[in-house]
């Protein structure tokens, strides 16, 4: 019996044809209500959506046969990926389908703002001929600041360079090598870069760090007459304060294609003719829609056929026997990645993972993906799975090496990770299947990390642990578990303390000031 695919939004006919040619039964049912979708989904093995259909936990839990959800586009905000993962359902997207269209729309908004195209067009349609009112500026030799140098930001850089613009950029996760290839001079902080730009365009994901990234303080630091463009995600610009700066003439023009809440039919910017507003058109080209439909059809077909899904966001194409061996270590690798992200502070250039003992002959790709997920998700910058781990690592300038060794020391199996020289290793507690740290920076330990921990490294001497306990006690911090590792040859010790309570900057400052010969102190939140 043919597997059934439900399509709930308009998808290119070429994509539907691909699925039908492969023998799948395809039903197109548009404008289903949430209740209708829940009632319909149990009969289907695959679901293809765009941005309108909400694939909620209720929908997923009603989908008895569902094996894959395909998003004919980039973002998966409308899909409960966690619920899908719990049910073993692959979620995939078509991340490259609209990047050219989005980059071109960015340039269109930039040019429209620079040359007053919409205002002049409206004037002409009103029967006027007001040339003097619409004097614009050139892009040539102007400085463009690009925030986010991923796929779309990179294409914008290429196009802006062809206009003769000077390119500067901000992207904490872009390698210097990639920036150099794009002809972009990187800056490390927002406050330094914004006063330099004649034009600013953002190509950033919507995260806790990027929402409201540009507000009154940033606008005040910008050049007079600066042009701002956002065809990426709504909310990066604080629209309320932005309108004030447009009204004051500080900001010369704004081009927005994305809004915090959509559809957006009214906002503080709607009253200004130099605010060029478009209704989320970045992906709205014939070519992008065709690519999205064809790409997602190929990926959904691959998932239904049991093949690798190149853009799977949550599932690993790992055989069951391999998953049984390495699967329990994945959460531990994510924990180690999050620890390394906090201890190193910066994205590592080199990552080395070693699987030891009974893991020595296993495919370690899922462990690498777990570690990278921990590293990157701590900063909320990427979704990582085994099928995209290599690309994500390359995108962020991380060189990954994997090793295996038969000897896991005192343990049946273990995984160690070294990020730019900082080492951490774990094993699994057989009965609880809980990851336990067995080494950190070369210090031998045996402790299960808690939600928050303090890690001290100091020159070993009597009384150090007592000082730590006293200071934490004074601050109302409860120590739940503690482990001490030593390096006699260096006369150093490392103390790993799991704690409960509010660890603030004042407490960390006191610990640093009152612990003599303290080499390092890290506050780790998992």
pLDDT at 380: 59
CA-CA distance, 110 to 380, in Å (whole number)?
Answer: 28
CB 222 within 8 A of CB 251: yes
Please report, rounded to a whole number, the percentage of residues in the chain having pLDDT higher than 90.
73
Helix (H, G, I), strand (E, B) or coil at 449: coil
pLDDT at 396: 84
Helix (H, G, I), strand (E, B) or coil at 108: helix
pLDDT at 124: 96
pLDDT at 43: 96
Q: What is the mean pLDDT of residues 500-511?
A: 93
Quick one: which H or E segment has residue 443?
A: strand 443-447
The closest alpha carbon to 425, from 435, 440, 412, belongs to 440
**Residue 398: partners with Cβ closer than 8 Å, 6 or more residues away:** 347, 348, 349, 350, 351, 372, 375
Q: Which residues are catalytic?
A: 233, 262, 280
Largest CA distance in the chain: 89
CA-CA distance, 40 to 348, in Å (whole number)?
Answer: 47
Instruction: Tell me the per-residue pLDDT of 274-324, one tens digit each, with 9 for 90 and over.
Output: 999 999 999 899 999 999 999 999 999 988 886 668 788 876 555 556 667
Instruction: Tell me the per-residue pLDDT of 362-388, one tens digit each, with 9 for 90 and over.
Output: 888 878 888 988 888 665 555 565 556
Please report, rounded to a whole number, the percentage of residues in the chain having pLDDT higher than 70.
95
Helix (H, G, I), strand (E, B) or coil at 509: helix
Pairing of strands 399-405, 413-419: unpaired
Residue for token digits 């269109």?
108
Task: Indicate the DSSP class of residue 477.
Answer: P
Other C-beta atoms closer than 10 Å to the C-beta of 98 total 24
What are the φ/ψ torsions at residue 388 (nearest 5 degrees)? Answer: -120, 5
Give the pLDDT band (50/70/90) at residue 205.
confident
Find the angle CA(334)-CA(339)-CA(344) to the nearest 5 degrees. Answer: 125
**Residue 67: partners with Cβ closer than 8 Å, 6 or more residues away:** 45, 46, 88, 89, 90, 303, 304
What are the φ/ψ torsions at residue 199 (nearest 5 degrees)? Answer: -130, 145
The closest alpha carbon to 260, from 238, 285, 276, belongs to 238
Instruction: Tell me the per-residue pLDDT of 44-103, one tens digit each, with 9 for 90 and over.
Output: 999 999 989 999 999 999 998 998 999 999 888 899 998 887 777 889 999 899 999 999
Find the angle CA(311)-CA(317)-CA(323) to the nearest 5 degrees. Answer: 140
99: tokens are 């990047």
Strands (E), 21-165: 25-28, 46-49, 68-71, 90-93, 143-147
Q: Residue by residue, what is the 3-state secondary structure of 397-408?
A: CCEEEEEEECCC
**Residue 345: partners with Cβ closer than 8 Å, 6 or more residues away:** none
pLDDT at 347: 85
In the chain the domains, ranked by start, together with CATH numbers, are 4-97+287-304 (3.40.50.720), 99-277 (3.40.50.720), 325-447 (3.30.1330.90), 450-526 (3.30.70.260)
CA-CA distance, 371 to 471, in Å (whole number)?
Answer: 33
**Residue 490: partners with Cβ closer than 8 Å, 6 or more residues away:** none
């Amino acid at each position: 019996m043919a597997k059934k695919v439900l399509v709930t939004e308009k998808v290119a006919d070429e994509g539907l044809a691909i699925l039908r040619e492969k023998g799948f039964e395809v039903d197109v049912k548009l404008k289903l209500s949430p209740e209708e979708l829940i009632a319909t989904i149990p009969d289907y093995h695959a679901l293809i959506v765009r941005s309108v259909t909400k694939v909620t936990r209720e929908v997923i839990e009603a989908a008895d046969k569902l094996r894959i959800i395909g998003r004919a586009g980039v973002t998966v905000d409308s899909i409960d990926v966690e619920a899908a993962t719990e049910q073993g359902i692959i979620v995939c997207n078509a991340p490259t389908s609209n990047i050219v269209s989005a980059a071109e729309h960015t340039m269109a908004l930039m040019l429209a703002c620079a040359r007053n195209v919409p205002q002049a067009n409206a004037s002409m349609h009103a029967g006027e001929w007001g040339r003097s009112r619409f004097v614009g500026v050139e892009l040539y030799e102007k400085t463009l600041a690009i925030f986010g140098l991923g796929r779309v930001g990179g294409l914008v850089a290429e196009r802006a360079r062809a206009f003769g613009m000077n390119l500067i950029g901000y992207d904490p996760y872009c390698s210097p090598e990639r920036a150099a290839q794009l002809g972009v001079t990187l800056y490390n902080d927002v406050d330094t870069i914004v006063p330099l730009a004649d034009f600013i365009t953002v190509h950033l994901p919507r995260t806790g760090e990027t929402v409201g990234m540009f507000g009154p303080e940033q606008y005040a630091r910008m050049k007079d007459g600066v042009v701002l463009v956002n065809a990426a995600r709504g909310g990066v610009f604080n629209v309320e304060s932005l309108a004030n700066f447009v009204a004051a003439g500080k900001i010369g023009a704004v081009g927005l294609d994305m809004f915090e809440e959509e559809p957006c039919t009214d906002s503080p910017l709607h009253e200004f003719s130099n605010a060029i507003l478009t209704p989320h058109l970045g992906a709205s080209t014939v070519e992008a829609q065709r690519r999205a439909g064809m790409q997602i059809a190929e990926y959904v077909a691959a998932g239904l056929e049991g093949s690798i899904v190149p853009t799977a966001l949550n599932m690993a194409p790992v055989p069951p026997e391999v998953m049984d061996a390495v699967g329990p270590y994945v959460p531990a690798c994510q924990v180690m990645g999050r620890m390394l992200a906090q201890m190193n502070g910066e994205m590592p250039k080199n990552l080395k993972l070693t699987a030891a003992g009974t893991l020595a002959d296993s495919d370690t790709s899922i462990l690498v993906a777990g570690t990278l997920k921990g590293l990157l998700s701590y900063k909320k910058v990427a979704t990582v799975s085994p099928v995209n781990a290599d690309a994500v690592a390359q995108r962020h300038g991380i060189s990954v090496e994997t090793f295996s060794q038969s000897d896991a020391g005192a343990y049946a199996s273990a995984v160690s990770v070294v990020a730019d020289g900082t080492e951490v290793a774990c094993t699994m507690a057989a009965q609880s299947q809980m990851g336990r740290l067995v080494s950190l920076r070369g210090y031998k330990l045996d402790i299960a990390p808690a939600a928050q921990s303090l890690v001290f490294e100091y020159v070993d001497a009597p009384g150090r642990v007592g000082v730590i306990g006293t200071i934490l006690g004074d601050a109302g911090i409860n120590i739940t578990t503690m482990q001490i590792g030593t390096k006699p040859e260096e006369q150093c010790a490392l103390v790993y303390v799991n704690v409960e309570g509010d660890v603030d900057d004042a407490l960390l400052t006191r610990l640093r000031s009152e612990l003599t010969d303290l080499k390092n102190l890290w506050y780790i939140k998992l």
